[in-house]
Amino acid sequence: MKDRSLLTRGIIIALVVALAAFAAFPLGEKIKLGLDLRGGMHLVLEVQTEDAVDAEIDKTAERILEEAREEGLAGVRVDRGEGYTLDVTGVPRGEGDQAIGRIANDYLPEWSWDRLGERIVFELPLMEISQMRDQAVEQALQTIRNRVDQFGVAEPSISRLGTGSNRIVVQLPGVDDPERIRELIKNTAFLEFRLTTQPASGGRGLPSRQAVLDAYNGSLPSNVEILEGDVRDSENRIIGTEYYGVEKRSVITGRDLKNASPGLGEFRNPVVQFSLSVEAGDRFGEVTGANVGRGLAIILDNRVVSAPVLQGQINDQGIIRGSFTQEEVTDLSLTLRSGALPAKIVSLEERTVGPALGRDSIEQGLRAGLLGFVLVILAMLVIYKVTGINAVVALGLNVILVFAALAYFNATLTLPGIAGIILVIGMAVDANVLVFERIREELHAGRTPKSAIDAGFAKALSSIIDANVTTLIAALFLFQFGTGPIRGFAVTLTIGILASVFTAVFVSRWIFDLLISRRERVERLSI
């Protein structure tokens, strides 16, 4: 009876050890290292969704104005109202209202509108706004994914920080050129082609904002705005700013592109070649055909890249010229292909660790862990003699179990995680110590070794549980609070503590029982 229980428990322990070893080894392959150890880039980005909503409202204002003109309503003004509203003024009652109703119905179904005295107020319902924000984040997520995929980073992890959040977490292991990746991800890449008005035939811009205004005798027409561009020297260094008057309406935007790729221009200068979708190609052909001789400004993120003169009609193929380097052309093509970001992106947090730094951390962690392990083993052997071996076996198994659990749950080992394992080595013996001390006490009280062991385990159990639950509570809050690396610590600490209860209560007990069962009568226990 007794022997059978010993055997069963032995088999269970052997199975656990085998499974753990199978799961954990070889460590190099089975344990996933965090970015702080293997090197990589961790970014928390925030999508400025307000931008996307603003852009939508501005676009709608243009739309209403345009359609009102088509409907033959002269003198209509559209202004931004309070919150997410547009004030439309100068609309005659009756007929005008009907026209606005048609426009709203046909083109702006998501907006609600109402006449308030002389004004007609368009309002974007809150539901629509939150949906718009949500879409902006989803679109940004998709765009960033595309860009990272095309750039060729292995095992990227790009995800939203919880549903409904406007934050995106990007984790890229093993990045060699973080500066470039950072630019690539954050580049809004909003491309537009617009006709220039000053200088009308494109080419170089004017030297100052005032010069553009002067060309219009001081007042800008309502359909024109002034945009800046960089002046560069032959080495491509920025040496100044130039100014253009351009139409507010864009002929085509980045969304109309079917493809974009780097290429070489006539002077073997780097350019971006693009092709347009069929529908956009028609539109582009129409406008370019009608405006031969005028300048066509190529605008990226609201800056004029170049403003070549239209030599003839362009249909569905074209090139973007500017003072580009090869790298810029490659990245611009990539961002254009992956689509524009719907809104500006701000990096709230960045942690980039070079592989050399990570490797140092691993080495230092290993050294510290080894020293801690050896010291604890020595302490156990000195204090508990032969019984100390029992604790050492439990401790070794404990460490294996921690690695096995990490591998099994696919958890990430971080630098604080390593610290957690090392700390666990010191703390895990606590459960053994509690039991051993209790056994000693019982021996002093005159019990036989066998009954001392029984009593020791029985009495120490409640202390073991209480002591470990408190540490678990701390680990739990740590996990809740923590980001990446800290979570790694909470995880190893938690696993280590749970494993230590198992090894101290189950494994160590079995070893005691095994030792005792070998001899008929045990006179002394080396403890």
Partner 1 sequence: MELFRNTNINFMKYRKYWIVISLILLAVGIFSVFVHGKLNIGIDFAGGTQLTVKFAEDPEVDNLRALLEGAGVEDAQIQSFGEAGENEVLIKTPTLEGSQEGSRDKVVDALDGEYNAGSDAGLDLNRDGREDIAQVLVERDPDGLINGPGDADAAKAHYEGVAEAILEVRRENGLIVDWSEVESAPAVAVGDETSDLAAGAAGVSPEVAQVLRQEARLGNFSVIGVENVGPQMGAELRQKGILAVLLSLVGMLLYIWFRFELRFGIGALMASMHDVLVALGIFALLGFEFNLTTIAAFLTLIGYSVNDTVVIFDRVRENMQARPSAPLLETMNKSLNDTLSRTVLTSGTTFLTAASLFFLGGDVLRGFSFVLMMGVVIGTYSSIYIASPFALLWENMFSDKARAERAKAKRRAA
- Binding residues among 348-367 for partner 1 as defined by CB under 8 A: 348-357, 359-361, 364-365, 367
Question: Candidates 39-47, 251-259, 302-310, 500-508 — which segment interacts with partner 1 by CB under 8 A?
Answer: 39-47
Among positions 130, 347, 451, 526, the unique one binding partner 1 when judged by CB under 8 A: 347
CA distances to 434, 474, 482 from 465, in Å: 11, 15, 25
Under a CB-based contact definition with an 8 Å cutoff, are residues 42 and 351 in contact?
Answer: yes
386 interacts with partner 1 by CB under 8 A: no
| Mask for 204-243, x = binds partner 1 (CB under 8 A) | ----------------------------------------
Nearest distance in Å: CB 39, partner 1 = 7
Contacts of 505-510 with CB under 8 Å at 24 or more apart are: 505/431, 505/435, 505/457, 505/461, 505/464, 506/9, 506/13, 507/13, 507/393, 507/394, 507/397, 508/390, 508/391, 508/393, 508/394, 508/432, 508/435, 509/453, 509/457, 510/6, 510/9, 510/10, 510/13
Read off the tokens for 83: 């919150």
Residue-by-residue DSSP string for 101-131: HHHHHHH-TT-EEEEETTEEEEE--HHHHHH
* Binders of partner 1 in range 146-185 (CB under 8 A): 175-180
Tokens 């928390």 label which residue? Answer: 44
Question: Candidates 69-77, 136-144, 243-251, 374-382 — which segment interacts with partner 1 by CB under 8 A?
Answer: 374-382
Nearer to partner 1, 103 or 421 (CB): 421
| Mask for 293-332, x = binds partner 1 (CB under 8 A) | ---------------------------------xx--x--
| Mask for 456-475, x = binds partner 1 (CB under 8 A) | ---x--xx--xxxxxxxxxx
Phi, psi of 187 (to 5 degrees): -60, 120
* Binders of partner 1 in range 429-448 (CB under 8 A): 429-430, 433-434, 437, 440-441, 444
Q: How many residues bind partner 1 (CB under 8 A)?
A: 82
In what side-by-side order are the strands of the sheet with 257-264? 257-264, 270-276, 317-320
387 interacts with partner 1 by CB under 8 A: no
Nearer to partner 1, 44 or 231 (CB): 44
User: 15-38 burial by CB neighbour count: b if 16+ within 10 A, else e?
Assistant: ebbeebeebbeeeeebbebbbbbb
Question: Candidates 112-120, 203-211, 427-435, 514-522 — which segment interacts with partner 1 by CB under 8 A?
Answer: 427-435
What are the residues facing 219 on neighbouring strands? none
Nearest distance in Å: CB 326, partner 1 = 6
Nearer to partner 1, 145 or 440 (CB): 440
Read off the tokens for 241: 């700013």
Nearest distance in Å: CB 384, partner 1 = 8
81 interacts with partner 1 by CB under 8 A: no
- How far is it, in rounded angstroms, from Cα 399 to Cα 395? 6
Nearer to partner 1, 466 or 523 (CB): 466
480 interacts with partner 1 by CB under 8 A: yes
- How far is it, in rounded angstroms, from Cα 428 to Cα 382? 17
517 interacts with partner 1 by CB under 8 A: no
